[in-house]
Amino acid sequence: MALRGGLATEKGCVGVEGVRLVEEALGGGCRVEAVLFSESGERHRERLAPLIGRREMAFPVLKTTDRLFEGIADTEHPQGVAALVEPRKVEVADLLATPEGTCSPLLAVLAGVQDPGNVGTILRTAAAFGATGAATSATAQGGTASPFSPKALRASAGAALHLPVLAGMSLTILLTQLKVEGIHTLASCVQDETKGGSASLSPWEVDWCQPLALLVGNEGAGLPEDIVRGADARVHIPMARGVESLNASAAAAVLFYEGYRQREKQKQ
Amino acid sequence: MALRGGLATEKGCVGVEGVRLVEEALGGGCRVEAVLFSESGERHRERLAPLIGRREMAFPVLKTTDRLFEGIADTEHPQGVAALVEPRKVEVADLLATPEGTCSPLLAVLAGVQDPGNVGTILRTAAAFGATGAATSATAQGGTASPFSPKALRASAGAALHLPVLAGMSLTILLTQLKVEGIHTLASCVQDETKGGSASLSPWEVDWCQPLALLVGNEGAGLPEDIVRGADARVHIPMARGVESLNASAAAAVLFYEGYRQREKQKQ
């Protein structure tokens, strides 16, 4: 079980480390291959016992020494608990579904977000504000860092495990499918970008209650030009001092907050 | 001119480094004591020339070698441009003013924000979303990191220099003065905290068009209990998954965004 580097195994499994993440993995929808405790990690077993006990699919619960655990851990001060899990198998159809309690799909599409920490934070924020799914772009088109690397998983606080995430998707295919299925695509822009005569919207001018996919681009360069042009609408966060932009995760927080606000208002 | 460490000189001057920050300092309201170029920093002189030329108060423009500059610089790859500036002298009265084009004062009060990067980012976000001033708490009460340290200045992208910032203020005195002057205090809470029978508000339930001071607390511990209790109202950011909270700067971005949204709406 190689936690370091976060490369998926041949079967597509990823290692998750730390009590909270293992808890999320055990409690969420992903298949668990094995759980590993180090000697000092045993103190967390009680907290996890109900989750380990109630899983229908049996999996081995392994023990190792602290020293061996430190050798495979990705963090500097490991908690001594890890699991090998298979992230949920997500199809485009899963992203089109409207989960119970929500009015319509709200997706985060990450196209070229390079920093694993940002990928995780954006997923966490999206999930916290009621997004129903996410997708990340494949390498060929300015790829997005893997949502399942240790750093991204930690930053996502487990959101990458319970939110349906379609990783490494071809943007062109995804956006076409979204369009066919009637999901509006909204390109997040750093500045007011008028394209083909239509200005970009302020977040509060967007109808967040319609089926919507928010496209988030690279930290520096933003979204590829053709993606911005092909989107149904563009959104930018207006500011009193127009010079500066928010960092990627703060901008995502503001946009998904606005979506949450509108969706909550509609519920009333 | 000691840029490293960011300690103010006896006169209260601070060093700012990098083309953009020096530009902000020269263009903003703060007094400039001196500007320093290294040999390779000379290439930025043209960009800064209009600002250096038009300043009424003359100040020395110094030259040094790259090696000497690197010795005093706080950054690893210095741009070779720095300035010694005296931050704006800010009184409480300055924070009570309603600048032209705004409906009423909107203040950021940082009480115990420990990370200089967060202090800078919060100031930058506040300024971007139309805050009219800011204050930071003195050390005695879980102090806030200096907004004028190199790291905070960089993260603020210069906002710490152009926004009126009252640094190292006694919270008790400040909050009393705000109350006397009719500025509502709004405590930012991580969770819904019901105090004295009144629940905390969602951001959209707050009237951001009234004279308002948003109190932002420590990254981990939040605001001191007595400050939360003493505030006129409490606000928290509700989330679909209640477990997680946003990081300090993303939370500030969401709150100040909501204020901006309402204030823009009122203008229409």
Q: What is the pLDDT of residues A14-49, one digit of tens each?
A: 899 999 889 888 887 788 889 999 999 999 999 988
Together in a domain, B64 and B165: no
Q: Residue A78 half-sphere exposure, CB side, CA atoms within 13 Å?
A: 28
- What residues of B are in contact with residue A244 (Cβ under 8 Å)? 124, 128, 157, 159
CA distance A251 to B4: 31
Residue A241 has pLDDT above 80, yes or no: no
Name which of B157, B204, B240 is nearest A244 (Cβ-Cβ): B157
Q: Judging by DSSP bridges, how do beta strands A165-169 and A133-137 pair with one another?
A: parallel
Question: CB distance B240–A251 less than 8 Å?
Answer: no
> Do B105 and B97 contact (CB within 8 A), yes or no?
yes
Q: Identify the segments of chain B with pLDDT beneath 50.
A: 1-2
Predicted local distance difference test score (pLDDT) of residue B64: 92
Predicted local distance difference test score (pLDDT) of residue A194: 63
Predicted local distance difference test score (pLDDT) of residue B1: 46
**CA closest to A130 among chain B residues:** B240
As a whole number, mean pLDDT of residues A118-124 equals 93
pLDDT in tens, A150-202: 899 988 888 888 899 999 889 989 999 999 999 999 999 987 666 556 779 99
Predicted local distance difference test score (pLDDT) of residue A8: 61
CA distances from A184 to A9, A206, A231, B151 (A): 35, 11, 8, 40
Together in a domain, A77 and A52: yes
Residue A4 has pLDDT above 80, yes or no: no
pLDDT in tens, A47-103: 988 888 776 557 889 999 999 998 888 888 889 999 999 888 889 999 998 888 888
Please identify, among B55, B86, B117, the residue that sits at the C-terminal boundary of a domain. Answer: B86
As a whole number, mean pLDDT of residues A202-226 equals 93
**CA closest to B162 among chain A residues:** A241
Predicted local distance difference test score (pLDDT) of residue B8: 62
The overall longest dimension of chain B from CA atoms, in Å, is 64
Q: How close does chain B come to A148, measured CA to CA in Å?
A: 19
Domain carrying residue A76? 4-86
The overall longest dimension of chain A from CA atoms, in Å, is 64
Together in a domain, B78 and B96: no
Please identify, among A46, A67, A86, the residue that sits at the C-terminal boundary of a domain. Answer: A86
Mutate to test the interface with B, among A201, A205, A206, A257 (most CBs of B within 10 A): A257
CA distance B199 to B264: 27
Question: CB distance B250–A130 less than 8 Å?
Answer: no
CA distance B139 to A267: 45
- Assign residue A151 the CATH number of its domain: 3.40.1280.10
Q: How close does chain B come to A43, measured CA to CA in Å?
A: 23
> Do B187 and B83 contact (CB within 8 A), yes or no?
no
Together in a domain, A70 and A160: no
- What residues of A are in contact with residue B128 (Cβ under 8 Å)? 239-241, 244, 246
Residues, chain B: 268
> Do A190 and A245 contact (CB within 8 A), yes or no?
yes
Q: Which two tokens stand for residue B207?
A: 């009237």
Name which of B128, B239, B251 is nearest A240 (Cβ-Cβ): B128
DSSP E strands, B65-181? 81-86, 106-110, 133-137, 165-169
CA distance B123 to B90: 15
Phi, psi of B240 (to 5 degrees): -65, -45
Together in a domain, B113 and B9: no
Together in a domain, A62 and A183: no
Residue A108 has pLDDT above 60, yes or no: yes
Predicted local distance difference test score (pLDDT) of residue A27: 82
Name which of A127, A238, A254 is nearest B254 (Cβ-Cβ): A254
pLDDT in tens, B142-161: 688 999 998 999 888 888 88
Together in a domain, B117 and B188: yes
Residue A1 has pLDDT above 50, yes or no: no
CA distance A188 to B169: 38
> Do A163 and A199 contact (CB within 8 A), yes or no?
no
Comparing A154 with A141, the larger pLDDT belongs to A154
- What residues of B are in contact with residue A124 (Cβ under 8 Å)? 244
Question: CB distance B261–A127 less than 8 Å?
Answer: no
> Do B147 and B124 contact (CB within 8 A), yes or no?
no
Q: Under 8 Å CB-to-CB from B111, ≥6 apart: which residues?
A: B137, B141, B142, B144, B171, B215, B216, B217, B218, B223, B224, B227
Q: Residue A15 half-sphere exposure, CB side, CA atoms within 13 Å?
A: 20
Predicted local distance difference test score (pLDDT) of residue A101: 81
| Residues facing residue B263 across a β-bridge | none
**CA closest to B256 among chain A residues:** A254
Together in a domain, A99 and A78: no
Q: How close does chain A come to B266, measured CA to CA in Å?
A: 13
For chain A, the domain total comes to: 2
Q: How close does chain A come to B256, measured CA to CA in Å?
A: 9
Together in a domain, A165 and A122: yes
How many other β-carbons are positioned within 10 Å of the β-carbon of residue A57?
A: 7
Q: Under 8 Å CB-to-CB from B263, ≥6 apart: which residues?
A: B102, B103, B106, B130, B208, B209
Name which of B125, B260, B264 is nearest A250 (Cβ-Cβ): B125
Please identify, among B47, B71, B86, the residue that sits at the C-terminal boundary of a domain. Answer: B86
Together in a domain, B254 and B185: yes
- What residues of A are in contact with residue B258 (Cβ under 8 Å)? 257, 261
- Assign residue B55 the CATH number of its domain: 3.30.1330.30
Give ipTM to 2 decimals: 0.84
CA distances from A5 to A64, A68, A74, A75 (A): 20, 17, 7, 11
Together in a domain, A114 and A183: yes
Would you give the distance in Å from CA A4 to the centre of its chain?
Answer: 20
Question: CB distance B261–A204 less than 8 Å?
Answer: yes
Please choose, from the candidates B105, B102, B128, B89, the residue with its C-alpha nearest in 3D space to the C-alpha of residue B214.
B105
- What residues of A are in contact with residue B124 (Cβ under 8 Å)? 244
Together in a domain, B67 and B103: no
